[in-house]
Amino acid sequence: MSKSKKNKGFVSKKQTSTFDFSSLLTYCSQDEILKFKEGLKGKAVSSLILNPLIYTAKRLEEAFPDLKKDKDDPLLYRFVKEEGRMGKTLEHFAGGFYILDPSSGVISSYLTNLLPKDFVSLDLCAAPGGKTIAMDLRRPDGLYLANDIAFDRALEINKNAQRLALGNILTLSIDPVKLSLPSLFDLVILDAPCSGSGMIRKEPKMASDWSMDKVTRLLPIQENLLEKAYECTKKNGIIAYSTCSLSLEEDEDQVKAFIKRHPDIQVIPVEPREGMVLGKDGLGYHMIPGIYDGEGIYFVLLRKTQGDAYKFTSSKDARIYNDYLMSLDYKDNSYLVTRFYQDFANLPFIAPGMKVYDKSEHPKCEYDHSYCKVCDDIEKVELDRQSALQYVQGNEVKVDSSIADELVILTYQNMRLGLGKNIKGKVKNYLPKGLRANLY
Ligand SMILES: C[S@@+](CC[C@H](N)C(=O)[O-])C[C@H]1O[C@@H](n2cnc3c(N)ncnc32)[C@H](O)[C@@H]1O
C-alpha cells in the first residue's frame, strides 16, 4: 500500500487526544470496539511478577491480600495502580517482585515451555527490562543479554537485575542495528519502539503524542530491527516480536512483510487467553484495554527454521565462584555471572552480571551493593520490619550484640537488603545513597 493511501483519513500533523483510536481496531468486532471505548473510561491495570528465587507466593499473598492472582499465570498478580504504592514497599525494594503491565508479562509465559534448557536470549530493546526480567523469573536457567540504545534507560535494566538478584543478565547499550553477532541466540526479544497507542489509558500523554506521521516514521526502524533479530537468531530459535501499538502497520503488516522477506519464518501457534484478539490473517494477538484485563500490547512468536546452528565458545577468562556463578574480570572490575562466552568478549557491556567491587560507593566498603545480592561469603543478619525500614532509609540499626564485629548482609524475611558493618550491636549503614528510600 502506498504511503499516501495508508494516511488516508488521518491528519498528518500531531493528533489531539480527540482522535478516535477505535478506528485503528480494524481487526476487532463491533462488540469489542464498544468494550474498548468503555474500557478507556476506566483505570489502567498494573501487575507484578513474583520473584520465586527470593520470595514465596504464600508470603506475598499474606502481605498483600488485595492482589488479584491471574488464573492462567502462577506468577502474575494484578492490582489497581495507586500512586505506585506497590513500588514503594519493602518487599519490592528487597526484590520480591517486578512491577509491569499485565499484557507485557504474558509474552514470557508463552515462551516458558518453548525454550531448551540453558538457552541464551538477546533482548534488542530491553529497557527498563520488563520482557527479559519476566522471562528470567520464569526461566532462571537462561542467560540473558539485555540491550537498549538509550544508555540511561539501559542503566535501569541493571538496577532492576541487581534488585532482583538476577546474576544471569548481561546489560549493554548499543544501537541494535550496529550489534555484530553471529546467529547465536535461542531467543531474540524485539519489543520495538512504536507509536504507543496501546498505552493511551495508562499514559494519556501517548494519545496527544500520537500521529500517523509517528507511525510512518517508526516503520523502517522496526523493519531494520526485525532484520537484526533474524540475523542473531539461530536455526530453530524464536523471535518474540511485540509493540504497544494498536496499528496494523506496526503489527501484522510488519510481520507479514518480514515473513515475505524470510519464507523460513513460521508463526508459533499459541492458545489465546480470555480477552485476546486474534491478529489479522492469524498473525499474533492483540491485548487491548477494555477487552483484555491489561493495557495494549501486540505480540507474535516466530520460529526461524533455517540457517546456522552456531555453538558458543566458552570463555577461558571466567572462573568458578560457586555452584551457580562464575567470576569474570571486565574493564577494571570483577563481575559474577552464571555463564560467559568468548563470543561476547567484544561487546560494550555496562555490567556483565553482578558487580563485585566498587571503591566509589562507600569509602569504608570495598564491595558494590550488587555483590550482597549474590555472594555466599558474608554473614547474614535478619532484621524485623521496623529495623528493615530504618535500614533502607539509610539509618544505623541495632542488632544482637553477640554478632561478630564484621561486614554483614542485612536481610528481611531472608531477602537481602544491603551491606553494613556491625560494631558492638550497631550496624553502620553501607547502602548507597541513591538507593535509600522511605518505604511502606
Ligand atoms: C517498548 S520500549 C522497550 C520496553 C522493554 N522491552 C520492557 O519490556 O521493559 C522500546 C525501547 O526501544 C528503544 N529505542 C528507541 N528508539 C530506538 C531505535 N531507533 N532503535 C532501537 N531501539 C530504540 C527505547 O530506548 C526503548 O527502551
* Domain membership flag for residue 412: yes
Whole-number Å distance, alpha carbon 403 to ligand 1 midpoint, is 47
Whole-number Å distance, alpha carbon 30 to ligand 1 midpoint, is 32
* Domain membership flag for residue 170: yes
Range of the structural domain that residue 225 is part of = 45-304
Q: Distance between CA atoms of 416 and 286, rounded to whole angstroms?
A: 38
Q: Are 372 and 419 in contact (CB under 8 A)?
A: yes
Cell of 433: 545513597
Looking at 274, 304, 334, the residue that finishes a domain is 304
Residues 373 and 289 in one domain: no
Residues 9, 14, 20, 23: what is their CA dihedral angle, to the nearest 10 degrees?
40
Helix ranges, 202-288 (H) = 205-209, 212-232, 252-261
pLDDT digits (tens, 9 = 90+) for 21-78: 999 999 999 999 999 999 999 999 999 999 999 999 999 999 999 999 999 999 999 9
pLDDT at 401: 82
pTM: 0.94
Output the domain CATH number for residue 185. 3.40.50.150
Mean pLDDT value across residues 149-157: 98
Q: Distance between CA atoms of 416 and 93, rounded to whole angstroms?
A: 9
Taking the CA of residue 129 as reference, the ligand 1 atom at the shortest distance is 9
Mean pLDDT value across residues 397-426: 95
pLDDT digits (tens, 9 = 90+) for 102-141: 999 999 999 999 999 999 999 999 999 999 999 999 999 9
The residue count of the chain comes to: 440
Ligand 1 proximity of 198 Cβ (cutoff 6 Å):
no
Please say if the pLDDT value at position 146 is more than 50. yes
Output the domain CATH number for residue 427. 3.10.450.720
The H or E element containing residue 389 is helix 385-393
Residues 382 and 276 in one domain: no
Residues 149 and 281 in one domain: yes
SS3 54: coil
Ligand 1 proximity of 221 Cβ (cutoff 6 Å):
yes
Residues 72 and 167 in one domain: yes
* Domain membership flag for residue 23: no
pLDDT digits (tens, 9 = 90+) for 255-290: 999 999 999 999 999 999 999 999 999 999 999 999
Q: Are 421 and 407 in contact (CB under 8 A)?
A: yes
Whole-number Å distance, alpha carbon 397 to ligand 1 midpoint, is 41
pLDDT at 308: 80
Ligand 1 proximity of 176 Cβ (cutoff 6 Å):
yes
Taking the CA of residue 189 as reference, the ligand 1 atom at the shortest distance is 6
Phi, psi of 264 (to 5 degrees): -80, -5
Residues 93 and 227 in one domain: yes
Q: Report which protein residue has its CA nearest ligand 1's atom 7.
A: 130
Please say if the pLDDT value at position 421 is more than 50. yes
* Domain membership flag for residue 13: no
pLDDT at 17: 57
Cell of 230: 533474524
In 3D space, the residue among 225, 285, 228, 283 whose CA is nearest the CA of residue 259 turns out to be 283
* Domain membership flag for residue 20: no
Residues 164 and 232 in one domain: yes
pLDDT at 381: 97
pLDDT at 364: 81
